[in-house]
Amino acid sequence: MKKIKTASVYTIENYKSANSRDGGSFRLKLCRDGEVVASVVNDGRGGPMEFNWKKDEKTILVNELKGQTWDLDGKKIPVTPEHFVGVMIEAIPQPTEKEQGEAQHKAWCKKSTVFKLKTDMDPKAFRSVKAPFDANVKAYLVKKYGDQIDFIMNERYA
């Protein structure tokens, strides 16, 4: 696809993404010349992006995109604000699957104690105790499972 040209400089700020049931979800702020013009959310449930535009900002962007097209199966399709933001998001370096997994594990460990036993066969399945990790929880696990404990994930992120 050719580069999309606009008279203003558009940037993305506060981009946050996560895995979801339908691929991925994200939220971001779309800025024009350094000022926030819209907040954008994709909730990851299969629907379109949701834009919350500041007054007249969508019209300004539509006018800047006027006349530009992208090719879809040989047809020229007008560039929309949604497509424009999608192209900008594609340019953002995305975390690797390993980095996403690490972030998920750290999030789990904030509220629970997460562990694996040597007999647990599924490498992506973990056990948990709904209590933040501390010496008392570790003592409980050692008393209950002893040498069966393969590792306690929270110790990796302490």
Helix (H, G, I), strand (E, B) or coil at 18: strand
Task: Give pLDDT tens digits for 33-63.
Answer: 999 999 999 887 777 889 999 999 999 999 9
Q: Which two tokens stand for residue 154?
A: 């929270």
Domain borders along the chain are 10-90, 97-157
Nearest to 44 by CA among 27, 20, 28: 20
- Whole-structure pTM over 0.85, yes or no? no
* List of E strands, 6-158: 10-20, 23-32, 35-42, 50-53, 69-72, 75-78, 113-117, 127-129, 149-152
> Which residue has tokens 């834009």?
51
CA triple 95-100-102, angle to 5 deg: 125
Decide: 106 and 157 in contact? Cβ < 8 Å. yes
- Return the closest-CA partner of residue 11 out of 38, 40, 33, 42: 33
Q: How confident is the model at residue 1 (pLDDT cuts 50, 70, 90)?
A: very low
Cβ burial of 70 (10 Å; 0-12, 13-18, 19+) is middle
Q: Render pLDDT for 103-150 as a digit per residue (tens, 0 to 9).
A: 788 888 988 999 999 998 887 788 999 999 999 999 999 999 999 999
